[in-house]
């Protein structure tokens, strides 16, 4: 039994949205549910009833239609609210007034605050600019931006105008950007002229110019003058943000079907270019309503922060916090600049109530010896969220010892695939050391063994047995749905297979927590950012000295570090100069997060009989685990080259 580190008192429980939702169900739906375990069971036993009730409880705007769930047993194939029409932005922007909607803080001290009315005006101006350009329903608008307010306004304006949004952060090199945007052929590209990180200013004009050269579909480049570099405005088809947006334009919301593509996110697949995952407006709105209102207990007076970039789905997740009327706190830059306490300075100054970050960040501030409880006024802070990778038990200890004792600490987990979570916080239950508090309401999450049977008390595959609203609408350029089905439904037919290796732990009070120990596939996850190995291969193998490469994630220091193995061409050796060139190539053309921590020369790379390299087998050898299906390898003897390498012990 996991140790209870904190639990809310009766007064705090009674004031939660969860308690209000249970009371509302009893009085308006004649559905009395005595406690949280009963609520969770009902939410997965009556899938249509739960999501219909949540639509009404959250006051989502739109025409709901008579059918809550079509083809309820089909996975894939089930459709939520097929008769409904809505606009994501209409619900998100429903709160008016002078209260701040967004407060941006840069690492250099820059502060930008937009009220609810100003955010709506900026979104309206951008939507009108798209309309003036002649944007058709479903055309794509792409962004290459730091985490500034303009990104949120552009996303909401795009949705209001009927377009589909996609974004990357500016630390991605042109090759990484084109791997993504090149597939979806955007009509408009929004980019900042530069960004700041670690005390340095990075001019982005050259990168934008290269991206534009690879995107002939783009009719208009919209430049946000973040660092006031005039060079970006000299790029053909460029127009300054204020000149593109139509000042004083009304915001006309285009209500479209529930599954109308809201935005496109990108997978981190192990082969080929990233998969383009299309998410529908209604599914995102409904799933985020559940996660923000019920699991995060978000309210109008909250100030919600998540340390993220526009290249991670947590940015999309945070934007939906506006639905509750909360203020979003944005940050862009190095969270350890100018000091390790930089984010806690913002937490104190802006009266942050919910602090979202990654497990790696928490581990980093612990190792830096930071004790915010002694140095900062965190009286407003009532919850801390962690995602990206499992939060180590020692990190739970650190938060309650050195950050704040009276705090809900929630390790949450899900992903780009569902633009949300399968495991979340439970504001009416205890926080247990090393555990994710609960399975998401409305998601029939179980743990399967290799035979596809549910298990308790042992590790297995995280699965979801029934449909949920934020399943992807489709993959881009996947007309028959074959890639979509292969991604989630081939391992266990008719069941969503998520690829997390975890254990379900039931408690005496009827609640059930999860312990996730990592990914069960080959996707890398350094610092909580999922990375596809193919993105690294594409860069490394451009170097003439490299014959081929294999990359894995090694569990290291409560995180994952990227390890790159290279087989050299005849006559070449791996020296420090080449290592530096490999790292520079990856950093400049993918992103800094793709750069390997270790680069090791290897004499051979194991592969299957069909010629595919076997990352999972190498990862198992490195971690001292037995390798399955050795008989499928053409050269199984190569695995011995990776066993007990001294370079990986330090």
pLDDT at 388 over 90: no
Domain count, the chain: 3
**Entry field: residues in the chain:** 650
Strands (E), 247-358: 256-257, 261-266, 276-280, 303-306, 327-332, 354-358
Question: Does residue 73 share a domain with residue 114?
Answer: no
Q: pLDDT (tens digit, 9 = 90+) per residue, 41-70?
A: 999 999 999 999 999 999 999 999 999 999
Q: What is the pTM of this model?
A: 0.86
Q: What is the pLDDT of residue 328?
A: 98
Question: Does residue 82 share a domain with residue 127?
Answer: no
- Residue 41 belongs to what domain range? 4-93+260-519
Question: Does residue 544 share a domain with residue 510?
Answer: no
Cα(347)–Cα(577) distance, rounded to whole angstroms?
Answer: 42
Q: Residue 596 — pLDDT band, cuts 50, 70, 90?
A: very high
Question: Does residue 55 share a domain with residue 126?
Answer: no
Q: What is the pLDDT of residue 16?
A: 98
Q: Which residue has the higher pLDDT, 328 or 459?
A: 328
Question: Does residue 451 share a domain with residue 306?
Answer: yes
Question: Does residue 265 share a domain with residue 242?
Answer: no
Q: What is the pLDDT of residue 608?
A: 65
- Asked if the structure places residue 98 within a domain, the reply is no
Q: pLDDT (tens digit, 9 = 90+) per residue, 465-509?
A: 999 999 999 999 999 999 999 999 999 999 999 988 889 999 998
Q: What is the DSSP string of 508-568?
A: TTS-EEEEEEEESSS-B-GGG--B-HHHHHHHHTTSTTEEEEEEEEEEETTEEEEEEEEEE
Over residues 576-580, mean pLDDT: 95
Tokens of 405: 């004792």
- CATH number for the domain including 160? 3.40.50.980
Q: What is the helix (H) or strand (E) element at residue 413, kind and residue range?
A: strand 413-415
Q: What is the pLDDT of residue 359?
A: 84
Percent of the chain with pLDDT over 90: 81
Question: Does residue 88 share a domain with residue 41?
Answer: yes
Question: Minimum mean pLDDT among 269-273, 284-288, 370-374, 472-476: which range?
Answer: 269-273
Q: What is the pLDDT of residue 384?
A: 98
- Asked if the structure places residue 559 within a domain, the reply is yes
pLDDT at 269 over 50: no
Q: Residue 105 — pLDDT band, cuts 50, 70, 90?
A: very high
Q: What is the pLDDT of residue 426?
A: 98
Question: Does residue 231 share a domain with residue 323?
Answer: no
Asked if residues 405 and 419 have their Cβ atoms less than 8 Å apart, the reply is no
3-state SS, residue 333:
coil
- Asked if the structure places residue 524 within a domain, the reply is no
- Asked if the structure places residue 123 within a domain, the reply is yes
Q: What is the pLDDT of residue 393?
A: 87
- Asked if the structure places residue 99 within a domain, the reply is no
Q: What is the pLDDT of residue 611?
A: 59
Q: For all residues of the chain together, what is the average pLDDT? A: 93
pLDDT at 34 over 50: yes
Q: What is the pLDDT of residue 631?
A: 55
- CATH number for the domain including 544? 3.30.300.30
- Asked if the structure places residue 114 within a domain, the reply is yes
Q: Residue 374 — pLDDT band, cuts 50, 70, 90?
A: very high
Question: Does residue 56 share a domain with residue 42?
Answer: yes
Cα(288)–Cα(314) distance, rounded to whole angstroms?
Answer: 11
Q: What is the pLDDT of residue 530?
A: 62
With both helix axes pointing from N to C terminus, report the angle between 47-57 and 17-28 in degrees, rounded to the nearest 10: 110
Question: Minimum mean pLDDT among 96-105, 122-131, 260-269, 310-319: which range?
Answer: 260-269
Question: Does residue 296 share a domain with residue 429?
Answer: yes
Q: pLDDT (tens digit, 9 = 90+) per residue, 517-546?
A: 766 766 677 777 667 677 788 788 788 899
Whether omega before 76 lies within 30 degrees of 0, making that bond cis, reads: yes
Q: Cα 607 to chain center, whole Å?
A: 31
Tokens of 165: 């949004």
- Asked if the structure places residue 402 within a domain, the reply is yes
Asked if residues 307 and 357 have their Cβ atoms less than 8 Å apart, the reply is yes
- Asked if the structure places residue 78 within a domain, the reply is yes
pLDDT at 610 over 70: no
What Cα–Cα distance (Å) separates residue 538 from each residue in 525, 533, 548, 566? 18, 9, 10, 13
Give Dmax (Cα) for the chain. Answer: 78
Q: Are strands 546-556 and 559-568 parallel, antiparallel or unpaired?
A: antiparallel
Q: What is the pLDDT of residue 559?
A: 87
Q: pLDDT (tens digit, 9 = 90+) per residue, 117-139?
A: 999 999 999 999 999 999 999 99
Whether omega before 50 lies within 30 degrees of 0, making that bond cis, reads: no
Q: What is the pLDDT of residue 544?
A: 86
């Amino acid at each position: 039994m996991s140790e209870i580190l904190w639990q809310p008192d009766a007064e705090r429980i009674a004031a939660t949205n969860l308690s209000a939702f249970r009371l509302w169900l009893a009085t308006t739906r004649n559905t009395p549910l005595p406690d949280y375990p009963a609520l969770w069971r009902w939410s997965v036993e009556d899938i249509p009833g739960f999501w219909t009730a949540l639509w009404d409880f959250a006051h989502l705007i739109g025409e709901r239609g008579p059918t809550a769930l079509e083809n309820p047993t089909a996975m894939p194939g089930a459709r939520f609210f097929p008769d409904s029409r809505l606009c994501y932005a209409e619900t998100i922007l429903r709160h008016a007034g002078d209260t701040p909607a967004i407060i941006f803080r840069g690492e250099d001290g820059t502060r930008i605050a937009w009220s609810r009315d100003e955010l709506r005006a900026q979104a309206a101006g951008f939507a009108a600019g798209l309309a003036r350009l002649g944007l058709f329903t479903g055309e794509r608008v792409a962004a290459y931006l730091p985490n500034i307010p303009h990104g949120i306004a552009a996303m909401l304006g795009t949705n209001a105008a009927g377009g589909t949004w996609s974004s990357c952060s500016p630390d991605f090199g042109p090759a990484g950007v084109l791997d993504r945007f090149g597939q979806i052929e955007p009509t408009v590209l929004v980019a900042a002229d530069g960004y700041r990180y670690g005390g340095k200013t990075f001019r982005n004009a050259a990168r934008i110019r290269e991206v534009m050269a690879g995107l002939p579909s783009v009719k208009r480049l919209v430049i946000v003058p973040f660092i006031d570099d005039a060079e970006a405005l000299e790029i053909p088809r460029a127009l300054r943000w204020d000149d593109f947006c139509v000042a004083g334009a009304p915001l006309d919301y285009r209500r479209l079907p529930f599954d109308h593509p809201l935005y496109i996110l990108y997978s981190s697949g192990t082969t080929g270019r990233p998969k383009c995952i299309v998410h529908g407006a209604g599914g995102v709105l409904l799933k985020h309503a559940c996660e923000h209102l019920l699991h995060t207990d978000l309210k109008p007076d909250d100030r919600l922060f998540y340390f993220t970039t526009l290249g991670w789905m947590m940015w999309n997740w945070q934007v939906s916090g506006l639905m509750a009327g909360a203020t979003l706190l944005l940050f862009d830059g190095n969270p350890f600049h100018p000091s390790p306490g930089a984010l806690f300075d913002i937490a104190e100054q802006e009266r942050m109530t919910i602090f979202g970050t990654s497990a790696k960040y928490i581990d980093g501030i612990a190792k830096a010896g930071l004790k915010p409880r002694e140095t900062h006024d965190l009286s407003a802070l009532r919850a801390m969220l962690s995602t990206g990778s499992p939060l180590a038990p020692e990190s739970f200890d650190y938060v309650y010892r050195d950050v704040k004792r009276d705090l809900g600490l929630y390790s949450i987990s899900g992903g780009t695939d569902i633009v949300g979570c399968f495991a979340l916080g439970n504001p009416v239950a205890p926080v247990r050391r090393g555990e994710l508090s609960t399975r998401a309401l409305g998601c029939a999450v179980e743990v399967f063994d290799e035979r596809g049977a549910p298990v308790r008390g042992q590790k297995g595959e995280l699965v979801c047995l029934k449909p949920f609203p934020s399943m992807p609408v489709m993959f881009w350029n996947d007309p028959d749905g074959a890639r979509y089905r292969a991604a989630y439904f081939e391992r266990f037919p008719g069941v969503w297979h998520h690829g997390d290796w975890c254990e379900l732990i039931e408690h005496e009070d009827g609640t059930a927590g999860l312990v996730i120990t990592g990914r069960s596939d080959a996707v890398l996850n350094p610092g909580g950012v999922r990375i596809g190995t193919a993105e690294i291969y594409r860069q490394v193998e451009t170097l003439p000295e490299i014959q081929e490469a294999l990359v894995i994630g090694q569990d290291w220091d409560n995180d994952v570090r990227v390890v790159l193995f290279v087989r050299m061409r005849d006559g070449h050796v791996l020296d420090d100069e080449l290592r530096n060139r490999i790292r520079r190539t990856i950093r400049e053309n993918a992103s800094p997060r793709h750069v390997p921590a270790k680069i090791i020369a290897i004499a051979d790379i194991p592969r299957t009989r069909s010629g595919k390299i076997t990352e999972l087998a190498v990862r198992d050898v490195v971690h001292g685990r037995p390798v399955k299906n050795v008989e499928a390898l053409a050269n199984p003897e190569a695995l011995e080259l990776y066993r007990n390498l001294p370079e990986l012990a330090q």
